[in-house]
Chains A and B, each alone.
Chain A
């Protein structure tokens, strides 16, 4: 942690950490503690008076059918996003790893969506699926499916998941490819000599050997689906139709900035904070140690 050889004590190190610490205190720790405090208050709609109510906001949330279904929906949404984008990335990486000539070209062509902002990813997909103009509704209509994600909650959810998963494939692909390339050739060759075909080798060698990466990616993808997909949802569905695509982060934003329910929104923020803390702990405790078989 600290260098064996270091500089003598002086005021200098305080000056060096000061900018980071000031930003942290003013924009992170103070607002977070405000959120904690506000979550214990009930404020009237004009912000004129507030009353200290202990955990009433939380008990209200726990009884709120809508909040509980948002929780469940967020869980389904994030696991589907993680599963879809990770499986596609795994398959593509498995094949890309075999390519000798043109491997970097494929990599270049597959990683750039990482640079696309979530809200733009949403805009591209919503354009492709525009009910009157979009190219997909046109073809879906030919096979007899009426597409309108402004009316159909299931279709809206599907569209949001597709956009979110599409954007994340690049990231997962990069990590899977790196993990596969670091598997020692001798292991794969030994299996080949023993007569295991490519598919068998993929299941019994590659997949278990990249499991630390899988575990790491599960955590990263769930964090992504929880927090970074706000832009996608905001631009594609705005949480609708009838809340069919409202996830936790979107609800915090909506209740706080649109509904102006400060106490309730703060209580939801606190719950999200607990979720982030749990995920960070999982990431640091288990990912660092690496899952191995």
Chain B
């Protein structure tokens, strides 16, 4: 602080607390809705203070039939989401780090051609090539599978650039001494590059896990089998069925469960999260 202004300090805290309240309000209302029983949630105005049915709702949502009998249980959806998020994040990191390694440490024909090809993926988000990508995945027989959910999303220009950047900061002497000691390329990769980029990998993982978990449009298109439904997708179906038989307590509990894993990742690994965000986007 440059100068002491007690009045301004008070204003500062008031504004920040208001900001936090504004940001948290939707979550608070969700939490409250998830803690009342079904009947209370049908009377307007809905409550603003939590009720006593949180545990019941949690049990009903996770292991009960959720909304209606024929629905996939929520724990299964959480598992699907987890599998998709892990496959996307691990896949992206794995294929990006080895291609960055090839591009930085080898001189070979078409090196720059490959680099630009990877760069182009930056300009082709799923949304602009929905239909043809869907056709490709359908022709490969990957509809309704974890592979179909993850592989089409794992090419990553940003991750490749980031690893390239990291490798470029590693001093050349590392490679020289490794080669003098007789290490081949893969030995150098495993024993030197990988340990040196450990924090970068972790930071990237945090960002990509959230990215994978939150996918919506893509799973919506390629999963028709209800067993493959992800938790994020299920909200839309639940809201649709809410028009006939609203069970807001269960719907909002599902929303809460769908948000929780990525939020915990952000809060628990805040430092890595901030590092990952600033590294991949700038």
Residues of A within 8 A of B (CB): 1-7, 9-10, 12-14, 16-17, 19-21, 23-32, 34-35, 38, 88, 91-92, 95-96, 98-100, 106-121, 123-128, 132-135, 138, 166, 169-171, 174-175, 178, 185, 188-189, 192, 198, 216, 220, 227, 230-231, 234-235, 249, 252-253, 256-257, 262, 265-266, 269-270, 272-273, 276-277, 280, 287
Contacts and interface: CB of A to CB of B under 8 A. Distances in A.
Contact of B12 (A95, A134, A138, A189): A95
> Which of A2, A28, A166, A256 has the largest number of chain B CB atoms within 10 A?
A28
Nearest to B186: A12
Contacts of A27: 133, 136-137, 151-152, 155
Interface string B1-16: 1110100110111011
7 contacts: A31-B135, A116-B259, A118-B214, A132-B44, A138-B44, A257-B221, A270-B128
B205 interface: no
Nearest to A38: B132
Contacts of A262: 131
A110 B20 CA distance: 6
A9 B124 CA distance: 32
A88 B18 CA distance: 11
Given A4-B172, A38-B132, A16 B281 contact: no
Contacts of A24: 117-118, 120-121, 155
B55 interface: no
A127 B30 contact: yes
Given A35-B131, A116-B259, A23 B236 contact: no
Contacts of A256: 130-131
Given A34-B129, A115-B210, A117-B232, 17 more contacts: A7-B185, A20-B95, A38-B131, A96-B16, A98-B9, A108-B270, A109-B20, A116-B259, A117-B258, A117-B262, A123-B255, A128-B25, A189-B2, A230-B216, A253-B130, A257-B130, A276-B125
A270 to B, nearest CB: 8
Nearest to A117: B214
B132 A98 contact: no
Interface stretch (B60-68, B72-80, B104-112, B196-204): B104-112
A273 B123 contact: yes
Contacts of B244: none
Contacts of B23: 109-110, 113, 166, 169-170
**B12, B33, B124, B263, most chain A CB atoms within 10 A:** B124
Contacts of A170: 23
Contacts of B195: none
Contacts of A114: 210, 266, 277
A19 B132 contact: no
A67 to B, nearest CB: 16
Contacts of A269: 128-131
Contacts of A1: 104, 168
B39 to A, nearest CB: 13
Contact of A3 (B41, B125, B172): B172
Interface in B163-201: 167-168, 172, 175-176, 179, 185-186
Max chain B Cβ within 10 angstroms of own Cβ: one of A34, A115, A138, A273: A115
Interface in B110-154: 111, 114, 117-118, 120-125, 127-133, 135-137, 151-152, 154
Interface in B248-282: 248, 251-252, 255, 258-259, 262-263, 265-267, 270, 273-274, 277-278, 281-282
B128 A35 contact: yes
Contacts of A253: 127, 130, 217
A182 B101 CA distance: 32
Contacts of A108: 267, 270
A234 to B, nearest CB: 7
A6 B105 contact: yes
Contacts of A32: 124, 128-129, 132
A275 to B, nearest CB: 9
B16 A188 contact: no
B124 A273 contact: yes
Contacts of A12: 102, 106, 185-186
A29 B46 CA distance: 50
B19 A252 contact: no
Nearest to B107: A6
B49 interface: no
A84 B221 CA distance: 31
Contact of B131 (A29, A115, A266): A266
A171 B16 CA distance: 16
B26 interface: yes
Interface string B64-104: 00000000000000000000000000000011101101111
Given A100-B1, A124-B255, A257-B221, A115 B262 contact: yes
